[in-house]
Amino acid sequence: MKANTAVSYLLGASLFALAMPAQAQDAASADAAKPAEGLGEIVVTANRVASSAQDTPIALNVYTGAKLAEQGVNTVRDLAQIDPSVNVTNSTGAAYVAVRGIASTDVTEIGDPSVPITRDGFFVNRSFAISSSFYDVARIEVLKGPQGTLQGRNSTGGVVSIITNRPEMRTGAYGSIEAGNYKTFNGEAGVNVQLAPGFAVRASGTILSHKGYRTSTGPAVDGDDENFKSGRIQALYKGDNGLSAWVSYQHDSRDVNGDAQFRGPLGGPMPDFGKAKTFTSFVPTLTKLESDRVRWELAYSADMGLNFIYSGGYDTANWRNRLDATGGYPANRQFRQQETPKTWNHEFRVSNNKDGRLFFQAGYFYFQEKNVVNSGIFNLDMTGAFGPGGMFGPGGPLSFLPNVDQSNRYALKFDYDILTRSQALFGQIEYKLTDQLQLSLGGRYTWDKKVRTGNAVLSLPALAFPLCGNDFPAPGTCPPFPLTTPGNGNLSQGEPTWHAGLNYRPAPGTLIYAKYDRGYKSGGFNSNGSAPSVDYGPERLDAFEIGTKNSLMGNTLQLNASVFYFNYKGYQGSQTTDAVSSGSGVFNVGSAKVFGIEGSLTALASKNTRVNINAAYLHTKFGDGIKINTGANPPVAVDIGGNRLPNAPEFTASGSIEQDVPVSFGTFTARIDAKYSSDFYYSVFNTTDTKSWDYVLANASIKFKPVDSFWEVSAYVRNVFNKQVLAYAAQNFNAGANTYQFQAPRTFGVRASVKF
């Protein structure tokens, strides 16, 4: 009741502020009013050089750090709640991103994302690493469609580029604090100091915490909680001789219970979980991450009109994840996984000044990751023949036998070393055929290498654990599994990608562009089981797009639109087969096509009213005659020809309205925003038990800032109508049930911030 009352007051206040008559605004203090200077200009680096977002021939959405903070967008997961082209799937402590229906299905340690996440140009390879918080962020750019020529490896669906604030040649500080329901406490602070002419340092940090949104009815802990801490320190030198140097160090720490997983029967529609407040987990779960990131950049602008940039970085991480292996009784089987990747990233680029008819960029890219993975099924309670005094247990007559693993009690354990290496040469030119017409051509050649060495070890305690997807497999359906099985794999491949485009500017503020891009995502191998390595090839995507960007009426109105068509070849899909170990693997299952239309409107309706509307139509379809094995035991081949791609809603829309109400002592700002998504599927099989139904998520906030002040305070409510929205759905044949996870319920709170 109290929650509903608080929400009602806040929503009512926001609507009242939006409906304030113009007379109240006219009577306000002139000092508090904002001058009508248009919508302003947002500078992006989508093409690896600075340019106005409205003058960049790429379909993109850009969000400033200030707007992200106001809307409560703290992670990539939150980004999907405001961006109509983005879907984020949460799974086992990690997440992967889909843009325009393009997403990766292989989220293992040898898989690659279809929509890479980059931080200050550094490629984030592991899906669990993107759960880190956004803080001290300048902006986030969501680039749509293949970006392989300039942005790098595997960007068939697009790129999410996170750009943090760098040190500035001034002294200042900022901070914010937030408190809300579910014992939410978020804090962020930073300080910037110029220590000498041309030299400055910046330090910032954040804390995010809230208790679990869902309560476990079993003996395990609550789920969907948050406990994240991070700190970053940077230094920047800018010389008068065209030389600049930047270095950054960041440490992240995350320690949570993990995602709340709900279960329903296989093959049927998703059960009605009510408001998804309780779930059942019989074993302890956790997700822990400790990571350190170092970034650096050297840049030099020569007198001859050439610019040289070298950027690099080194990341280390320790990720641990524990899940309920069965979702029921007996409550003694836990899946455990630990990864410790070490990642290097280097890029050299050279370009000329953008002041003539010809502009070019060229460079070399190098990426390497060495990862150690330990995972398996852990028996929490060793009893009977494997318990104390039992035949195989401690002190028993057969405890000396090999693979009787009493020290760690793993029934099945995987120990692997993985090497991923990628190198590329790239270049792109832009040539002005006339003052209004520009030709753009680019190319990239990528060499990818993946190596995995290690073993799968089956210990005798595994006799009590079903490995064949069924507690009582039919005779002959469970292939023999040796006690120790090599899990080695080796794959090397090279692939070109390219870009061609025409950009036409018939008048100031108007851009029309047409382009063709080839996207590529590297292949891999399935080698974590009882069979030799089974390779799968790369995905290829031919993308055609026509778009326009228009700044009208003194830049108080921006109208953008695009039409695109993707031809997908070699779709990497997951299916069950005896050719790989643990039942399922990734294979090139066939072709797919994607057609879409997108449009956006941003308007300064008055000097105090801002409106934004985005809409997208998406039609996706697998080619005819594609059959994929289900996870049933034994596997059953299902024709998915004509099915929709996963994570691809047919229609999405988002919008916001923001109203300033100046008064004599300051300005109130009310904001309401919402996102609509039609239904979509999480599985290539398009079954009702993995279907996300259409939904609307709405948010509201109201902010107050005094005249000529360094502080402001706001109140907010997110998911106003407390909608139950899926975040993940999967068929789990080993557990004999479907698995579901949900987005955050309704949350509300207050936030105060200062800036000096």
pLDDT above 60 (res 241): yes
All structural domains of the chain: 16-286+295-330+333-380+409-755 (2.40.170.20)
Hey, how many other C-beta atoms are within 10 angstroms of the C-beta on 403?
Answer: 14
The pLDDT value recorded for residue 697 is 94
The pLDDT value recorded for residue 133 is 80
Which of 457, 162, 127 is closest to 295 using CA atoms? 162
Range with the lowest mean pLDDT among 146-150, 181-185, 562-566? 146-150
Contact by Cβ (8 Å): 673, 699? yes
Range with the lowest mean pLDDT among 3-17, 136-150, 214-228, 233-247? 3-17
* Terminal Cα-to-Cα distance of the chain (whole angstroms): 39
pLDDT above 50 (res 711): yes
Contact by Cβ (8 Å): 163, 140? yes
pLDDT above 90 (res 518): yes
Report pLDDT digits (tens) over 175-214: 999 999 999 999 999 999 999 999 999 999 999 999 999 8
Supply 550's token pair.
């228009």
C-alpha separations of 355 from 312, 363, 435, 438 in Å: 28, 20, 12, 14
| DSSP assigned state of 431 | E
Residue whose entry in the numeric block shows the structure tokens 């300051």? 666
pLDDT above 90 (res 473): no
491 Rama sector, left if φ>0, alpha if ψ -120 to 50, beta otherwise? beta
Q: What is the pLDDT averaged over residues 622-627?
A: 88
Dist CA 229 CA 713 (whole Å) = 23
Hey, how many other C-beta atoms are within 10 angstroms of the C-beta on 322?
Answer: 21
The pLDDT value recorded for residue 388 is 64
Q: What is the pLDDT averaged over residues 487-497?
A: 89
The pLDDT value recorded for residue 72 is 86
Range with the lowest mean pLDDT among 296-310, 315-329, 454-468, 737-751? 454-468
pLDDT category of residue 590 using cuts at 50, 70 and 90: confident
Residues in the chain: 756
Contact by Cβ (8 Å): 85, 142? yes
pLDDT above 60 (res 469): no
The pLDDT value recorded for residue 155 is 82
| DSSP assigned state of 556 | T
The pLDDT value recorded for residue 410 is 64
Q: What is the pLDDT averaged over residues 384-406?
A: 61
pLDDT above 90 (res 714): yes
Residue whose entry in the numeric block shows the structure tokens 């801490």? 229
Contact by Cβ (8 Å): 110, 35? no
Question: Which SS3 state, helix, strand or coil, does residue 590 take?
Answer: strand
Residue % of the chain over a pLDDT of 90? 50
Contact by Cβ (8 Å): 515, 502? yes
Q: What is the DSSP string of 7-69?
A: HHHHHHHHHHHHT--HHHHHTS-TTTSPP---S---EE-TTSS-EEGGGSSS-EEEEEHHHHH
Dist CA 449 CA 151 (whole Å) = 19
Answer positive or negative: Cα dihedral of 746, 747, 748, 751.
Answer: negative
The pLDDT value recorded for residue 71 is 87
pLDDT above 50 (res 43): yes
Dist CA 258 CA 290 (whole Å) = 15
Which of 99, 75, 276, 78 is closest to 740 using CA atoms? 276
pLDDT above 90 (res 10): no
The pLDDT value recorded for residue 533 is 65
pLDDT above 50 (res 227): yes
The pLDDT value recorded for residue 487 is 78
Residue whose entry in the numeric block shows the structure tokens 């802990």? 221
Dist CA 416 CA 419 (whole Å) = 10
The pLDDT value recorded for residue 33 is 34
pLDDT above 80 (res 529): no
Q: What is the pLDDT averaged over residues 115-123?
A: 88
Hey, how many other C-beta atoms are within 10 angstroms of the C-beta on 613?
Answer: 15
Q: What is the pLDDT averaged over residues 417-445?
A: 96
Q: What is the pLDDT averaged over residues 507-512?
A: 96
pLDDT above 80 (res 220): no
Supply 247's token pair.
């270095």
Dist CA 129 CA 142 (whole Å) = 18
pLDDT category of residue 610 using cuts at 50, 70 and 90: very high
pLDDT above 70 (res 115): yes
The pLDDT value recorded for residue 121 is 86
The pLDDT value recorded for residue 460 is 53
Range with the lowest mean pLDDT among 326-340, 369-383, 411-425, 724-738? 326-340
Residue % of the chain over a pLDDT of 70? 80
Supply 522's token pair.
């590297």
pLDDT category of residue 375 using cuts at 50, 70 and 90: confident
Please give the mean pLDDT across all residues of the chain: 83
The pLDDT value recorded for residue 141 is 94
The pLDDT value recorded for residue 11 is 44
407, β-bridge pairs: none
- How many helices, marked H, and strands, marked E, lie in the chain? 5, 44
Q: What is the pLDDT averaged over residues 648-669?
A: 96
Q: What is the pLDDT averaged over residues 740-745?
A: 88
pLDDT above 60 (res 511): yes
The pLDDT value recorded for residue 44 is 92
The pLDDT value recorded for residue 126 is 78
The pLDDT value recorded for residue 555 is 94
Contact by Cβ (8 Å): 54, 551? yes
pLDDT category of residue 262 using cuts at 50, 70 and 90: confident
Dist CA 656 CA 8 (whole Å) = 19
